[in-house]
Structures are given as structure tokens and as C-alpha cells.
Amino acid sequence: MIGIYTKSFLIVNNSGFTFTRVKDQMIQELLDMGIKDFRVLDALSQVSRHIFLDEALWSRAYENRSLTIGYKQTISQPYIVAKMTEHLISHTSKRGRVMNKILEIGSGCGYQSAVLSYFADEVCAVERVKPLVMKSRENLKELGIRNILIKHADGFEGWGESVKFDGIICAAAPREYPEELLELLEINGKLVIPVGLEGRQKLYVITKISETEHEEVIHEDVAFVPMLPGTSKGAI
């Protein structure tokens, strides 16, 4: 898609440090790495990644790497967030909210959810670690993002209601993708999910063709935390 991403606005923390330059460097790096959809780049330029991290990590917030968010979980590197989002919306061309509902499984601190909020009327996010649910709600409230619902639940059970989604992103890796998630998709909806054991994971993009057919495409190597069943109260 041809376009121009919006330059990030000036962000200043209490010490006077500004994030504008490092954020713009991150966007340029994503361009250089092959992220082509300017809608995705624009969304990442608008979301303040440092808000989702402890202040001790703010100086590294716009580096293209995953960082700890506690509870043995990480915030995904910006390239992976951009790439998964790009896969999810690749069959659309309009700007703005091109989907009705998106489901995110393993929402962590809420960063990927915040990016997805630019592309759907409603984002439903599931996180198994209770303190991260609470923290992500605080993060999103601070940014004024209001079209995201976050639930403390088992990701293998999806949203747990009879709701269909135009797209699903999973930010944790099961050994095999749960076919039950395909049942939650609208026709032509996509599931973007890392699959495999640690050190041998691939990114899958699965499109639901009909109620009985789907198309599966395997993309690049990735590294995600494992997708675990059940819920956690958040032992560090």
C-alpha cells in the first residue's frame, strides 16, 4: 500500500527525555526490514511503547527487541507486532478500522492490542496472567484507548462467548494451532499464530475459506513464549 506514515508527536517524561527521535528511528528500521503497509507503520508510530514497560526500560522501549514485562512474559519486538498485524489486514486496502472484531490471545501488557485498536471497531483480548490484565487496562486507559476489552481467561478457550471475529492474533505459541480457534472466525477471517516448540517455531497464517475449509500458509521463524492452558494469579 502506498502512503505516508504520520510522524510521532513529542513525548516527554518527567526527566525531560523525548522519545520522538528514537520512535522515528524504529519506524525507519521497520521499513528497512520489509514492513510495507503504511497503515501498520502509522499505527506503530502512534502507540507509545514505553507506556507498556517499567520506567527502568524506557531507554530501550523503541529498540527492535522483545523486553520483559514480568511474570515470565515479554512484550513482542516491534517487527513481530508489525508483521503479524500486516498479515492480519493484508486482504484489506482501506485506511482506518477495516474489521468489526479482532481477538487477541496472550495480550500481555496490551501493546499489540493497542496497535490492533486502529484496525477494528472492537478488540477482545485474553490474558491468562491476572496482574498483566490489570496492568494492561491501566496502560490503555492512560493512552485513552477505549475500544479494547480485556478478559482474564484461558486462551485455549477463546473469548468464551458465541462471538465471531474477523481476525485472531495469538501472541503465544502452542505446539499445534487449536482448530477450535478457526470456529471463532468469520468466513475469510484470518488466524495469525506462532506454532511449534521453543527454538522451532514458525508463524502460521490461516484463512477460513468456508465452515469446512481453510488455507494455511507458513511464514518465517519466530520465537514466542509457550501457550499454556489455564489461568495464573501471577507468580513472578
Does position 197 have pLDDT exceeding 80, yes or no?
Answer: yes
Please tell me the number of Cα atoms within 13 Å of 123 on its side-chain side: 30
User: Rounded to an integer, what distance in angstroms lies between the CA atom of residue 223 and that of residue 181?
Assistant: 21
Confidence (pLDDT) at 8: 41
Q: Largest Cα–Cα distance in the chain?
A: 56
With a CB cutoff of 8 Å and minimum separation 6, the contacts of 56 are: none
User: Rounded to an integer, what distance in angstroms lies between the CA atom of residue 196 and that of residue 71?
Assistant: 22
The predicted-structure confidence for 68-77, as pLDDT tens digits, reads as follows: 999 989 999 9
Q: Which of 16-20, 52-56, 146-150, 219-223 has the lowest mean pLDDT?
A: 16-20
Q: Tell me the Ramachandran region of residue 17: left when phi exceeds 0, alpha when psi lies from -120 to 50, beta otherwise.
A: beta
More confident residue, 149 or 233: 149
Does position 124 have pLDDT exceeding 50, yes or no?
Answer: yes
User: Rounded to an integer, what distance in angstroms lies between the CA atom of residue 70 and that of residue 26?
Assistant: 23
Which domains are delineated in the chain?
A: 66-222 (3.40.50.150)
Q: Are the C-beta atoms of 200 and 121 separated by less than 8 Å? A: no
Confidence (pLDDT) at 235: 59
User: Rounded to an integer, what distance in angstroms lies between the CA atom of residue 24 and that of residue 136?
Assistant: 24
Does position 11 have pLDDT exceeding 70, yes or no?
Answer: no
Other beta carbons within 10 Å of 213: 9
Confidence (pLDDT) at 19: 85
More confident residue, 121 or 161: 121
User: Rounded to an integer, what distance in angstroms lies between the CA atom of residue 234 and that of residue 130?
Assistant: 6
Confidence (pLDDT) at 207: 97
pTM to 2 decimal places: 0.90
Our answer to whether residue 76 is catalytic in this structure is yes
Confidence (pLDDT) at 17: 53
Q: Are the C-beta atoms of 233 and 130 separated by less than 8 Å? A: yes
74 pairs with which residues across the strands? 68
Confidence (pLDDT) at 5: 41
Q: Which of 8, 45, 66, 76 is catalytic?
A: 76
User: Rounded to an integer, what distance in angstroms lies between the CA atom of residue 61 and that of residue 90?
Assistant: 27
Three-class DSSP category at 184: helix
Does position 199 have pLDDT exceeding 50, yes or no?
Answer: yes
